[in-house]
Structure 1
Amino acid sequence: MGAIIVKQLGKAYKQYGNRWSRLGEWLLPFRGPRHQLKWVIHDISFQLAPGEAVGIIGVNGAGKSTLLKLITGTTQPTTGSVTITGRVAALLELGMGFHPDFTGRQNAYMAGQLIGLTVDEISTLMPQIEAFADIGDYIDQPVRVYSSGMQMRLAFSVATVKRPDVLIVDEALSVGDAYFQHKSFDRIRDYRQQGTTLLIVSHDRGAIQSICDRAILLDGGRLAHQGKPEEVMDYYNAVIAEREGSSIAQSVTDDGRVQTSSGSREATVADIALLDEHGAPIEVANVGAAVQLRVRVQAHADLPRLVLGYMIKDRLGQPIYGTNTHHMEQALDNVKAGEQIEFRFAFPLNLGPGSYSVTTALTSNETHLANNYEWRDLALLFIVMNMNRKEFVGTSWLEPQIEISR
């Protein structure tokens, strides 16, 4: 089984003021350096135990792809070290290692040998590679005529045709069509169950939270946060929305989950509750019960416009349903400091049995990326139980009316 150990990893590139500085440093080394170091990765340390799955997230330019290149050895570090045990398969930049003038089949042979397969093994596995890539006769056409999706199909098929001890995947999967993405993630999940160690970079919150045991947030080339996927994704969401005067806070709830909140605090949620049909607060509800979500908001400053949104999430943090008063055409204008407003959202709780959370957002528009007054994850927790409905599975209660003709 594979493991990854990263110790104090750093990568810096030399920056010269002009081309003559580079030449002068080369010809006259005794004069001292004429460059400055630009650090893109700085002092990163973490470990992946055998069989563990870790997701790496961060904004564009945070250093995610550079970190994967350092781990796979395609780029050499300036400081620190990387230790990997087991056979590694990596899918980094789209088409990396493919020669545009060679056919897909020829490139499959070359790429397979790069990940440690013999020519005989590749020949034996070639029917599986072709079947999974599903690019038809293009397998014998030059790669230069491939679309980006076809390149990704072939690259992923070759890299994963034989279960590796360590699988490293960059965001290349994002260019594929929906069908192939589902097929790829099914293979990744299958390999995970068999013990493959997984390191994946993705902006897909659902993928990170459903596949990974842990997540790592990179910010400015540094390790900014790590922990459970839901906790780190919530923190990442807060970082994206952070603006001047905003703050990010995390606290631990009674059940041990980490709650993240952010914003300018110009308006905050003073109270939130789930009410039954009689208006009484509840923590447990029946499938399909008529409920109300009551949210009391306190304004701490004059606000030209106030929008309240909420999102219901399942136990893994996956969104189930969300809306806001902007989309419902019920935004409030000219809210005064000190004013308290009560919102009530009435709906049938057509959810499957399980535990759920509610995230709230107070903004001035349809998203929290502008004028984020307050974003609060895990603002409310509740449980749905099937007390008197027919047996079903899933996160939604969509009981059908059945007609059968014979």
Structure 2
Amino acid sequence: MTVLSVSHLSKRYASYASSLERFAGWFGAPVKATEEFWPVKDISFSLAAGEALGLIGQNGAGKSTLLKLITGTVRPTEGTAHVGGSISAILELGLGFNPEFTGRQNAYHAGGLMGLSQARLAELMPHIEDFAEIGAFFDQPLRTYSSGMQARLAFALATAERPDVLIVDEVLSVGDSYFQHKSFDRIRSFKATGTSIILVTHSLGDVRSLCDRVILLDNGHVLKDGRPDEVVDYYNALIATKENAKLTIEQRREKDDWLYSRSGTKAVAVESVALLDSDSGDPIKTAVSGQNMTVRTRIVAKEDIPELVIGFMLKDRAGHTVWGTNTWHTGQVLSKLAVGDKVECRLRLSCALGQGSYGLSVSLHTGDVHIDNNFDWIENVEVFDVVNTGGPFFIGTSRLEHLFEIVR
């Protein structure tokens, strides 16, 4: 069942030579704008019941404008957005709140704007107050609130009743860790009971863990629409692309449906990566939890390079980062590579992982992150399984050395 249908949605802001010309344009007069800007242009997608959609993109990509068009707080220039049910949105911190009203008064006022009756709000008020957890401040003026307290009040009100569509635009990022966990638990419970979610955030970990699908916006257009791992990896590469004009991006699915992504200028390139048993030197496709492993990476310089950093990252099947580091942080930066120089890097590590499937990524760059001169960055260049045979049972992705001490 489709609960949201967006068709060719666009928004145009225009400047005119005079206020008179702008006024004439309102009535259909053929007045030409001196300047125009389209923050959202020709966007179409649909959202099914219970589906969680992530909207990502750099600042100015059009995310917030798109949400305002969907909720009706901004009228579209072209296209339509149809919502088949109730919608609740947290678009901007304090939107619809009066700084002179108390938290309780703002809950009644903003709740009324959401379409809730005063009688229904009176029933919900104890739950809103309890979830917000701001204590005596609930009856203090909003101007005395911190941004985190405003976020608590806004989220508690927006989720007081389960809507058909819940939109959250970055507002939770100002909250503390405890309230973020609490809020995401409520979002997950809503999703499990059929609420559709649209989440706008720069926290790509939240996108991977919560969303079924992700749309990447760039300059008001849909650049990519697909599975979280595919779109998030493409977005990471896109950020590097903007820093490196010659960088290219390629993606394909292989290795039992893991996404293989590669980007970079190839001024220095990875020739091969092998995952080996540290003792025998044999290739590993299935590792035993606790096994000693070696990642052998062979690299060749295609241009003269003053500095090279080699990085590695492990992700689980859901795309969550399990571990990562690079030679910048270990103080082993390579310097002055000439054309044709070859380097072999051997990373030795213990497979302190739980049962599951894992992807190994490798990156070649300068500085401490891959956006600094991204030479070669390969997501999931090696994919392997981990089994736990002979060791004590445990759950999770990390095998932590442990010892129980029981005192009676």
Whether TM-score is above 0.5 comes out as yes
Matched, 1:33 2:35: no
* Match of residue 374 from structure 2: 372
Matched, 1:187 2:189: no
Matched, 1:22 2:19: yes
* Separation in structure 2 between the aligned mates of residue 111 and residue 26 of structure 1, nearest angstrom: 32
**Counterparts of 1:296-375 in structure 2 under 5 Å?**
296-375=298-377
Letter of the aligned partner of 1:9 in structure 2? L
Name the CA shift for 1:104/1:303 in 2 (closer, same or farther; >3 Å). Answer: same
User: Shift of residue 53 of structure 1?
Assistant: 0.6
Equivalent pair of 1:2/1:165 in contact (CA under 8 Å):
no
Name the CA shift for 1:346/1:109 in 2 (closer, same or farther; >3 Å). Answer: same
Equivalent pair of 1:21/1:34 in contact (CA under 8 Å):
no
CA offsets 1:274-305 (integer angstroms, 9 cap, x no match): 11121111110111111111111121111111
Equivalent pair of 1:272/1:293 in contact (CA under 8 Å):
yes
* Match of residue 286 from structure 1: 288
CA offsets 1:294-349 (integer angstroms, 9 cap, x no match): 11112111111111101000111111110111111111111111122111111111
* Match of residue 392 from structure 1: 394
User: Shift of residue 258 of structure 1?
Assistant: 2.9
Matched, 1:381 2:383: yes
Moved more, 213-222 or 101-110: 101-110
Does the residue aligned with 1:368 lie in a helix, a strand or coil?
Answer: coil
User: Shift of residue 405 of structure 1?
Assistant: 2.0
Equivalent pair of 2:2/2:46 in contact (CA under 8 Å):
no
Calculate the aligned-residue CA RMSD, in Å. Answer: 1.5
Name the CA shift for 1:6/1:347 in 2 (closer, same or farther; >3 Å). Answer: same
Letter of the aligned partner of 2:87 in structure 1? V
Letter of the aligned partner of 1:379 in structure 2? V
**Counterparts of 1:226-245 in structure 2 under 5 Å?**
226-242=225-241, 243-245=244-246
* Separation in structure 1 between the aligned mates of residue 252 and residue 299 of structure 2, nearest angstrom: 20
Name the CA shift for 1:328/1:9 in 2 (closer, same or farther; >3 Å). Answer: same
* Separation in structure 2 between the aligned mates of residue 175 and residue 2 of structure 1, nearest angstrom: 32
Equivalent pair of 1:25/1:31 in contact (CA under 8 Å):
no
User: Shift of residue 165 of structure 1?
Assistant: 1.0
Equivalent pair of 1:2/1:197 in contact (CA under 8 Å):
no
Name the CA shift for 1:97/1:25 in 2 (closer, same or farther; >3 Å). Answer: closer
Letter of the aligned partner of 1:259 in structure 2? Y
Letter of the aligned partner of 1:275 in structure 2? L
* Match of residue 249 from structure 2: 248
- Note the residue ranges of structure 2 that are not aligned, 5 or more in a row: none
Percent identity reads: 49
Equivalent pair of 1:2/1:87 in contact (CA under 8 Å):
no
CA offsets 1:138-196 (integer angstroms, 9 cap, x no match): 11111111111111100100110111111011001101011100100010011111111
User: Shift of residue 2 of structure 1?
Assistant: 6.6
* Match of residue 89 from structure 2: 90
Equivalent pair of 1:22/1:34 in contact (CA under 8 Å):
no
**Counterparts of 1:123-162 in structure 2 under 5 Å?**
123-162=122-161
Letter of the aligned partner of 2:144 in structure 1? V
User: Shift of residue 25 of structure 1?
Assistant: 4.9
* Match of residue 266 from structure 1: 267
Name the CA shift for 1:197/1:30 in 2 (closer, same or farther; >3 Å). Answer: closer
**Counterparts of 1:166-245 in structure 2 under 5 Å?**
166-242=165-241, 243-245=244-246
* Separation in structure 1 between the aligned mates of residue 160 and residue 327 of structure 2, nearest angstrom: 49
Aligned length: 403
* Separation in structure 2 between the aligned mates of residue 50 and residue 233 of structure 1, nearest angstrom: 23
- Note the residue ranges of structure 1 that are not aligned, 5 or more in a row: none
Letter of the aligned partner of 2:143 in structure 1? R
Name the CA shift for 1:32/1:167 in 2 (closer, same or farther; >3 Å). Answer: closer
* Match of residue 5 from structure 2: 5
* Separation in structure 1 between the aligned mates of residue 61 and residue 23 of structure 2, nearest angstrom: 31
* Separation in structure 2 between the aligned mates of residue 394 and residue 27 of structure 1, nearest angstrom: 64
* Separation in structure 1 between the aligned mates of residue 297 and residue 265 of structure 2, nearest angstrom: 19
CA offsets 1:3-26 (integer angstroms, 9 cap, x no match): 11100010010123xxx5334554
Matched, 1:405 2:407: yes
Does the residue aligned with 2:395 lie in a helix, a strand or coil?
Answer: coil
Equivalent pair of 1:21/1:35 in contact (CA under 8 Å):
no
